[in-house]
C-alpha cells in the first residue's frame, strides 16, 4: 500500500487507512498486475492512495482505542514538526483478540483405521508494533530515517479426547514472531522532471514455536537476518514519454538458534534491474513496456549455491474512451518468490496428527498472467470489472506424506498452478453522499498439478462495506467478508468469514468519535477448515472460534498550534512526495 506513490514503512495497512479521512482521498489507484518496478520486489499488487491534506498544525495525530469482550485495540499516530523542514512521526499499533474455540479432527488411514479428536478450549492472539520516523522535506529533497518493531503471538490451550481412548488430553501451543526493521530512504525531484529514489533497510526476524500435548513436547527456534537496498529513477523525457530504471539487492540469512548461539542453515541473495517506458501518443491511448533481469542465489546448509536467473517483462495498453471510462489490457511475466516462512526450516504443529516444516531448497516459480480491466466512475459511483488468467511453473505448495505416527507436510516446488477468474468492485453513493455502499467479489477456477496428484476446484470471495450518516453527528457502519475454502494440492483449507456493525456519535466538529461496536453478530462462529486427501489417508480439521462480542470505541483526531502559513512547512507522513 502506497500513499501518494510512497511506501509507508513502520505503519500497518490498518494504521494508514485509520489516518486518512475519506474526504481527504482524491482517488485510489489499484494495480493487480504490478509494473516491473514493484514486481522486481516480489509484490503481488499495489494500492496507491492519493490524498490532498496539507499540514495545518505543528502537532497533529490520531488515537484509536477500543475495549471489548472479544478483542481490544490501541492505535496511535503523532506528527510533530521540528522546524521548517524537519518532522517526527511516532506510531504504535496494538491488538489483542480472545475467543473460545472448538476443534474436530479426523484422520483415516488406508480407508480403515479412523482416529478422531474433539477438543475445546480458548485462544488468545496479540499484535504489538511501534516505531518512529524522522523526516526532512524541502522542495526538491525528501530524507527520512526510522526504526520499527513488530510482535505477533498466538496461544491456544485445549482439552479433548481421542476416539480410541477415554483419557482426557491437554494440549498447549504458542507461536511468536518478532520483527525489527531499521533504515531510511532519500528521494530527489529535480529539473527536467527527473526523480530519484534510494531506499535501504535492515531486518531481523526471530521466530519461536512451542507445542506440548501430555508427555510430548516440541520447540522450534528460527530466525531471519537480512537487508535490502533499492534505487530507481524516473525521467519524463517528453510530455508523452517517461523512462524509469532501477534495481534492488536483497540478502537473507536463515538461522537455527539455541537461545545463546545461532547456526546458519541457508543463505539467499537476490538482485534485479529493471527498465520501464510509458508512452502516450495521444490522450486516449497509453502504452507501457518494461522488463527486468532477476538473479537469485540460494545455498542450503552443507550444499553449494544454486543460481537461477531469468529475464522478465510486462506490457500494458490503456484505452481511455473518456476521462471517466478506461479499458486496460495487461500482460506480465515475473518471478514468484517463496516467502520467508516457507524457506525457513521451521516446524509447526497444527494438530496432534500433522507437522509442517519449511524448506530452504525452494526455488522461484515463473509466473505469467494477463488481465483485462474496465473501469468507469461518475461523481458518486465507481465500477471496476476484470478478467484474468495466471499460470505458474514451479509454484510452492505443501506435500503431505503419512509416517508411522502422523502426517509430515513440507513445502516443495510442484509442477504448475493455473488460475482463471474475474472480479467486480462497486462504489455507490446515495442521498448526497450520506449513504455509501462498497461491494466486491470474485470467482476463480484453480488447478494444481504435481506428477499424478491433482488439485482442482472453484474459489470465491465477497465483501460488503456500508456507511450511513443519518444525522450531523450519527454514523452507522456495517462490514462483512467471506472467503470460500481455498483449493490446495491435497484438499482445501481456510474457510473464513467475519463481520462488524458499529454506531458512532461525533463530537467537537468530528474530531472526537465514540461508538459501540458488535463483532461477528452475523457470522457466528468464525470457522477455519482444512482437508488433505491422498491415496493412503484423508485428514480433516475444523475449528470454530466463538468470538461474538461488543466493543466500546474511541477515535480522537487532534491538532495543536495551528500554522498561520502553510508554505515552507514540512509535509506530514502522508504527504511525502507531493
Contact (CB, 8 A) for 211 and 248: no
Sign of the C-alpha dihedral computed for residues 555, 560, 565 and 570 taken in this order: negative
Confidence (pLDDT) at 479: 92
In the DSSP assignment, the letter for residue 415 is S
Cα(364)–Cα(448) distance, rounded to whole angstroms?
16
Contact (CB, 8 A) for 295 and 274: no
Write down the pTM of the prediction: 0.79
Confidence (pLDDT) at 147: 94
Distances 397 to 276, 345, 494, 534 between C-alpha atoms, Å: 32, 15, 15, 15
Nearest to 487 by CA among 405, 382, 395, 558: 395
Residue with cell 477456477: 445
Nearest to 28 by CA among 53, 8, 3: 3
Q: Quick one: how far is CA 506 from the chain centroid?
A: 31
Contact (CB, 8 A) for 412 and 399: yes
Contact (CB, 8 A) for 244 and 37: yes
Q: List own/partner pairs for 56-61 with CB under 8 A and 24 or more apart.
A: 56/559, 56/562, 56/563, 56/566, 57/559, 57/560, 57/561, 57/562, 57/563, 58/560, 58/561, 58/562, 58/563, 59/558, 59/559, 59/560, 59/561, 60/557, 60/558, 60/559, 60/560, 60/572, 61/557, 61/558
The H-or-E segment that residue 342 falls in is helix 340-343
Cα(206)–Cα(253) distance, rounded to whole angstroms?
12
Q: What are the backbone angles phi and psi of residue 342, rounded to the nearest 5°?
A: -75, -35
CA dihedral 3, 568, 145, 199 (to 10 degrees): 60
Confidence (pLDDT) at 566: 44
Contact (CB, 8 A) for 530 and 407: no
* Bridge pairing between strands 435-450 and 396-402: unpaired
Contact (CB, 8 A) for 192 and 314: no
Confidence (pLDDT) at 510: 83
Interval 185-207: pLDDT, tens: 998 987 778 889 899 999 888 87
Confidence (pLDDT) at 568: 37
Contact (CB, 8 A) for 6 and 577: yes
Cα(371)–Cα(286) distance, rounded to whole angstroms?
16
Q: What are the backbone angles phi and psi of residue 57, rounded to the nearest 5°?
A: -150, 155
The H-or-E segment that residue 15 falls in is helix 13-19
Burial of 578 (0-12, 13-18, 19+ CB in 10 A): middle
Contact (CB, 8 A) for 121 and 98: no
Cα(448)–Cα(427) distance, rounded to whole angstroms?
34
Nearest to 90 by CA among 74, 101, 107, 77: 77
> How many other C-beta atoms lie within 10 A of the C-beta of residue 311?
9
Cα(334)–Cα(368) distance, rounded to whole angstroms?
7
Q: Which residues of the chain have pLDDT under 70?
A: 5, 7-44, 51-57, 164-166, 214-215, 257-262, 300-308, 405, 561-578
Amino acid at each position: 500500500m502506497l500513499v501518494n506513490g510512497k511506501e509507508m514503512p513502520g505503519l500497518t495497512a490498518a494504521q494508514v487507512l485509520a489516518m486518512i479521512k475519506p474526504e481527504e482521498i482524491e482517488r485510489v489507484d489499484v494495480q493487480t498486475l504490478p509494473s516491473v518496478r514493484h514486481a522486481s520486489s516480489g509484490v503481488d499488487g499495489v494500492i496507491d492512495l492519493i490524498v490532498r491534506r496539507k499540514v495545518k498544525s505543528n502537532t497533529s495525530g490520531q488515537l484509536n482505542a477500543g475495549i471489548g469482550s472479544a478483542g481490544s485495540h490501541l492505535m496511535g499516530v503523532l506528527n510533530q514538526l521540528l522546524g521548517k523542514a524537519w518532522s517526527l512521526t511516532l506510531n504504535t499499533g496494538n491488538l489483542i483478540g480472545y475467543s473460545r474455540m472448538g476443534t474436530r479432527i479426523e484422520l483415516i488411514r488406508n480407508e480403515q483405521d479412523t482416529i478422531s479428536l474433539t477438543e475445546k478450549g480458548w485462544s488468545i492472539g496479540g499484535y504489538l508494533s511501534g516505531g518512529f520516523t524522522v523526516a526532512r522535506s524541502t522542495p526538491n529533497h525528501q530524507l527520512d530515517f526510522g526504526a520499527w518493531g513488530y510482535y505477533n503471538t498466538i496461544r491456544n490451550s485445549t482439552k479433548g479426547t481421542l476416539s480410541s481412548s477415554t483419557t482426557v488430553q491437554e494440549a498447549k501451543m504458542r507461536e511468536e514472531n518478532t520483527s525489527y526493521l531499521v533504515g531510511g530512504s532519500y528521494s530527489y525531484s529535480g529539473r527536467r522532471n527527473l526523480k530519484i529514489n534510494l531506499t535501504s533497510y535492515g531486518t531481523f526476524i526471530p521466530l519461536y514455536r512451542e507445542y506440548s500435548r501430555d508427555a510430548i513436547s516440541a520447540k522450534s527456534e528460527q530466525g531471519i537476518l537480512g537487508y535490502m537496498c533499492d534505487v530507481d529513477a524516473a525521467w519524463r523525457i517528453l510530455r508523452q514519454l517517461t523512462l524509469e530504471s532501477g534495481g534492488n539487492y536483497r540478502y537473507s540469512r536463515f538461522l537455527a538458534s539455541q537461545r545463546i548461539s545461532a547456526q546458519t542453515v541457508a543463505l539467499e541473495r537476490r538482485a534485479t534491474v529493471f527498465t520501464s517506458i510509458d508512452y502516450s501518443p495521444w490522450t486516449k491511448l497509453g502504452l507501457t513496456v518494461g522488463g527486468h533481469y532477476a538473479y537469485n542465489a540460494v545455498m542450503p546448509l552443507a550444499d553449494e549455491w544454486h543460481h537461477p536467473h531469468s529475464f522478465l517483462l510486462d506490457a500494458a495498453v490503456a484505452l481511455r474512451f473518456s476521462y471517466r471510462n478506461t479499458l486496460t489490457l495487461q500482460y506480465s511475466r515475473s518471478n514468484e518468490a517463496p516467502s520467508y516462512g516457507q524457506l525457513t526450516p521451521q516446524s509447526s504443529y497444527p494438530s496432534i496428527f500433522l507437522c509442517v516444516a519449511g524448506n530452504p531448497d525452494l526455488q522461484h516459480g515463473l509466473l505469467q498472467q494477463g488481465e483485462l480491466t474496465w473501469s468507469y466512475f461518475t461523481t458518486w459511483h465507481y465500477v471496476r470489472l476484470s478478467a484474468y488468467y495466471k499460470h505458474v511453473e514451479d509454484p510452492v505448495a505443501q506435500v503431505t506424506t503419512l509416517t508411522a505416527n502422523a502426517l509430515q507436510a513440507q513445502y516443495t516446488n510442484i509442477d504448475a498452478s493455473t488460475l482463471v477468474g474475474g472480479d467486480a468492485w462497486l462504489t455507490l453513493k446515495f442521498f448526497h453522499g450520506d449513504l455509501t455502499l462498497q461491494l466486491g467479489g470474485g470467482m476463480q477456477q484453480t488447478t494444481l498439478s504435481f506428477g499424478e496428484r491433482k488439485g482442482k476446484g472453484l474459489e470465491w470471495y465477497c465483501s460488503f462495506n456500508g456507511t450511513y450518516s443519518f444525522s450531523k453527528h450519527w454514523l452507522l457502519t456495517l462490514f462483512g467478508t467471506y472467503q470460500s475454502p481455498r483449493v490446495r494440492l491435497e484438499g482445501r483449507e481456510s474457510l473464513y468469514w467475519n463481520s462488524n456493525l458499529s454506531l458512532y456519535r461525533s463530537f467537537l466538529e468530528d474530531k472526537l468519535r465514540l461508538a459501540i461496536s458488535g463483532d461477528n453478530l452475523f457470522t457466528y462462529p468464525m470457522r477455519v477448515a482444512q482437508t488433505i486427501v491422498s491415496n493412503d489417508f484423508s485428514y480433516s480439521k475444523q475449528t470454530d472460534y466463538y468470538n461474538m462480542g461488543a466493543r466500546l470505541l474511541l477515535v480522537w483526531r487532534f491538532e495543536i498550534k495551528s500554522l498561520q502559513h502553510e508554505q515552507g512547512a514540512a509535509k506530514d507522513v502522508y504527504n511525502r512526495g507531493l
